[in-house]
Amino acid sequence: MTENEIRALLASIPPSPFLDKTPGTVAVLRSLVEEAGGDPDAVARWVEAKGGRVDKTQRFQLPALGPNFGRKISNGKVFYVVPTEALAD
């Protein structure tokens, strides 16, 4: 993917308002990048080159009763923390 394609892709995906509140950045879920047909590794390299980072939510245990008590684990979600200025280039 080219820089312009990545920038356009990230700008077209609604940011996740509940992830990473670093001022001057937006958080975009990797799963949404994949759903939109983007190359997640190329996007990660681009984001990091622009001063952003790839992050992941923490795993957490879901409450469950009975024989499944303590067994349901939610895996963390991978997301990109993108400087807003990088989306405007």
pTM of the model: 0.81
At 18 the pLDDT is 85
Q: How many domains does the chain have?
A: 1
C-alpha to C-alpha distance for 89 and 87, rounded to whole angstroms = 6
At 53 the pLDDT is 96
| CB 10 within 8 Å of CB 60 | no
Regions of the chain where pLDDT drops below 70: 60-74, 89
C-alpha to C-alpha distance for 10 and 44, rounded to whole angstroms = 11
Q: And the tokens for 12?
A: 């077209």
Neighbours of 75 (CB within 10 A): 10
C-alpha to C-alpha distance for 15 and 68, rounded to whole angstroms = 34
Domain that holds residue 73: 3-87
At 45 the pLDDT is 98
